Amino acid sequence: MVAVWLVLAAWLVPRALETGRQLHRNVALGKLAVRFADGLPHAVALAGGRDAVMACGPVTTRSFQVPFVAWTLRLPVGDIGYIAPSTGTVFQQNLEPKVPIAERTTYHYVGSAGPTAERWTVLSTCSPG
């Protein structure tokens, strides 16, 4: 009977440790997502607010950030692009999405919001406000 318990423990302990590591990683990713989401309303405000962003043209961000931006701007996810067009507003993280070379002269830096690691950088072809 002791042998059965030892085998069972040898089988369970590594799985329990791995589950604990996975939970820790997921909690860390969740906290990161919250910090990203917290900075986004400030980035929208830098661009003049929702109405100014909408009036400027297409909205672009990183593909993984599309849901955050859509939720903040109260838009369908399909209305947010991930490739910067010739006009509009770009919400970047870590310099992504990149503005195509041909469009770099039309976009200007509006500002940055959020802590360094989770910073949103706003580029626009329109003047804020």
Could you read off the pLDDT of 4-20 as tens digits, one per residue? 777 777 787 777 778 77
The more confident residue out of 23 and 55 is 55
Closest CA to 88 of 52, 64, 63, 112: 52
Q: Tell me if 43 sits within 8 A of 22, measured CB to CB.
A: no
Longest dimension (CA), the chain: 76
27/91: higher pLDDT: 91
Indicate the length of the chain as a whole number.
129
Q: Write the DSSP assignment of 61-126 as a string of letters.
A: E-GGGHHHHHHHHT--GGGEESS--SSSEEEEBTTBSPPPGGGTTT-EEEEEES-GGG-EEEEESS
Q: Does residue 64 register a pLDDT over 70?
A: yes
- Residue 107 in contact with residue 125, Cβ under 8 Å? yes
Global pTM reads 0.74
